[in-house]
Structure 1
Amino acid sequence: MSDIVISTTDNSRLSLLLNWYANPYHTPIFMAHYLGFYEDEGLSPAIMETTDPSDVTDLIGQNKVDIALKAMIHTYAARAKGYKVVSTGTLFHEPPTGLIFLKSSGIKGFEDIRGKRIGYIGRFGKIIIDDLARRAGIELDAYETVRVGMNMTDAILQNQVDAGMGIGCFQQVELEQASGQETGILRVDELAGLGCCCFCSILFLVNEEYLAHNEDKVRRFMKATQRGVQWTLENPEKAYDLLCQNIPRLRTETFRKIYISCLPYFSRDLVNVERDWDKVGTYAQELGITDESMDAMSCYSNEYLPERPYADFQPLDGHYLSESRAAS
């Protein structure tokens, strides 16, 4: 992997690495791509999927891709590792995250993980599970953790694990649809007393070295992406249909329900929220990922975003859904 270099010098080209396989919570990015919003800004992004979410931090940290998506907690971890990455905006804000399970598993509270196999996607999932166990007074040898990668739902269905860490508007919906059973979620923010699920907010990360030479390109990228968010939220049915036209495997009832569940969590203004960074910074210290020397302000910037609350873009079809409802 150390020989891979995907960054570009062409002023129109840029590489964008997704944090997972293409799915409904990436819809605004694909709308900006399919509807020509990036082209309007003189950009031609190469949008790439990852086969292992853990690779994303290293690739953006080593400046081998131009822009990458990753969660806020991973941004802190990357900087603690010495990677000079910075968030230039938020795509997916505070998705409910926690321990997901079938109610038939007998899990009702976190104390019920005793004797259970708990799945996680990447190494920070295990760190969080063990921390929650410590907070609950559960011995680390009282349960088993199993890394399942991107196959959390299948791991539960195949009885490889009894429950797993995931996102309520994605894996929980997927599990309920695939199993036909009732599901439950024990939210990390409630168990850890965070007050928000901002640690799993999905951000646009760039390397400081890349940013120093491409500030205008990043501004144009964020402007086009914000336009994609706005169009998605104003035209949700059209957006999903266009997404499925281009990625046919997403045209299933399960992905449709996941898409609907994800809509409330798209950040219209893409802003990095100071309160969230402060909370996650404290949480990262509690998890042992960082220490007191980590400066939250060094991890993000809102300098590259259009004006708040959002830029005044005209709708492609002449009107917004909100305007139609107001008129009626």
Structure 2
Amino acid sequence: MKKRCVMVLIGIIIISLTGCAQKKTENITVVLDWVPNTNHTGLYVAQELGYFEEEGLSVEIIQPSEGGSADLIAAGQGEFGISYQEQVTYARTAANPLPIKAIAAIIQHNTSGFASPVDRNIITPKDFEGKKYGGWGSPMEIATLKGLMESNNGDFNQLEMVDIGALDFFTAVESHVDFTWIYYGWDGVSAKLRNVPINFISLKDQDENLDYYTPVIIASEDYLAKNPEIARKFLNAVTKGYEYAMENPEAAADLLLIDNPEIERDLAVASQEYLAREYQGDASQWGIMNQSIWENYSQWMFDHGLLENKLDANEAFTNEYLPQ
């Protein structure tokens, strides 16, 4: 009898230990590119609906320091980050390259461009002449503005560039500058809600080489090599999050607001409805990237003197961790 009890007890212990092993979770830190917004909704949906938990992941989503997500991910300060094709291209072609890689495109096409109040009469890049542009002092801004103006017979020397730091679009154009660079899915949608008429010059409509991936999800090459299954589990959950956001934009916006109540609900819902059509766009699945997009934009950057070396596109991104 005692022997039987001992065997039963051992069996219970083994089952318990097996259960604990199966329930072991992997701690993951995701570093955003900026303050939380609807570009990130799929992450928060995956968090709130338990998609990460289903994959055995415990995920913390944090905002970046001034160094940005690429530096932190390369330094092992997070497992995954939110970045953009421009940053990844710079990182991989620098004199001291960062070994980061894009593993999913959050939005399939570039939704950014130059926006201005309609009373500034900025319809084409040539109209930048005699105007003030508000930006953050990036060489990319200079190259983009100069390239677009020259292709529209404009004189770049007649454009005044002003560093506006962290000022939002509406504050900046009210009293500081004539136009800024925005994501239409946020400031463009917000302008409609505020009944502020704007002119918007879409980058992808001006030059097909500027239809790049922004934002993207990144990880370090070392982490991916050592943890391929975790990367797949992470993207399984994130894919479900963005698919839910595409199918249920208003509900997804409310899930975003649970952790980010400072966002105005009307803006979150309207932005989500816009992005529901943009996340996957015309691609075969959410997150997938095309090599020609990486090659075209990096060549454009190199031709405009923005890169020290040409980019090896095959090393900059991969689709292998997306759901098959």
Give the TM-score range, shorter chain: 0.7 to 0.9
- In the aligned structure 1, how far is the partner of 2:272 from the partner of 2:304? 31
- Measured against aligned partners, the alpha-carbon deviations of 1:248-306 in whole angstroms (never above 9, x if no partner) come to 22243233222221211113431122232222222222232336642111101111111
- In the aligned structure 2, how far is the partner of 1:205 from the partner of 1:216? 15
1:20 — aligned with what? 34
1:250 — aligned with what? 263
2:7 — aligned with what? none
Would you say 1:67 and 2:80 are equivalent positions?
Answer: yes
- In the aligned structure 1, how far is the partner of 2:319 from the partner of 2:265? 36
Contact 2:279–2:286 under 8 Å retained in 1? no
- In the aligned structure 1, how far is the partner of 2:119 from the partner of 2:257? 33
Q: CA deviation at 1:207?
A: 1.1
Alpha carbons of structure 1 residues 50 and 63: separation in structure 2 relative to 1, 3 Å: same
- Measured against aligned partners, the alpha-carbon deviations of 1:151-173 in whole angstroms (never above 9, x if no partner) come to 33134343211101112222222
Would you say 1:300 and 2:313 are equivalent positions?
Answer: no
Given candidates 181, 187, 190, the residue that maps to 1:174 is 190
2:163 — aligned with what? 147
In the alignment, residue 189 of structure 1 is paired with which amino acid? Answer: K
Would you say 1:76 and 2:89 are equivalent positions?
Answer: yes
Unaligned runs of 5+ in 1: 1-9, 308-328
In the alignment, residue 53 of structure 2 is paired with which amino acid? Answer: E
1:105 — aligned with what? 120
2:305 — aligned with what? 288
In the alignment, residue 41 of structure 1 is paired with which amino acid? Answer: E
SS of equivalent to 2:276: helix
Larger radius of gyration: 2
- In the aligned structure 1, how far is the partner of 2:269 from the partner of 2:103? 29
SS of equivalent to 2:296: helix
SS of equivalent to 1:93: coil
Structure 1 length as normaliser, TM-score? 0.82
- In the aligned structure 2, how far is the partner of 1:147 from the partner of 1:125? 11
Q: Please give the residue correspondences for 1:160-239 in structure 2 after superposition, counting only pairs within 5 Å.
A: 160-178=176-194, 180-194=195-209, 197=211, 199-239=212-252
Unaligned runs of 5+ in 2: 1-23
In the alignment, residue 56 of structure 2 is paired with which amino acid? Answer: G
- In the aligned structure 1, how far is the partner of 2:245 from the partner of 2:199? 29
- Measured against aligned partners, the alpha-carbon deviations of 1:84-127 in whole angstroms (never above 9, x if no partner) come to 11111111221322111111112122111112111225623333
Given candidates 119, 123, 128, the residue that maps to 2:144 is 128
Q: CA deviation at 1:150?
A: 4.3
In the alignment, residue 165 of structure 1 is paired with which amino acid? Answer: W
Contact 2:116–2:173 under 8 Å retained in 1? no
When the two chains are superposed, the root-mean-square deviation of aligned CA atoms in Å is 2.3
Alpha carbons of structure 1 residues 282 and 83: separation in structure 2 relative to 1, 3 Å: same
Q: CA deviation at 1:11?
A: 6.2
Mean CA deviation greater in 86-95 or 288-297 = 288-297
Contact 1:19–1:70 under 8 Å retained in 2? yes
SS of equivalent to 1:127: helix
2:174 — aligned with what? 158
Q: CA deviation at 1:174?
A: 2.2
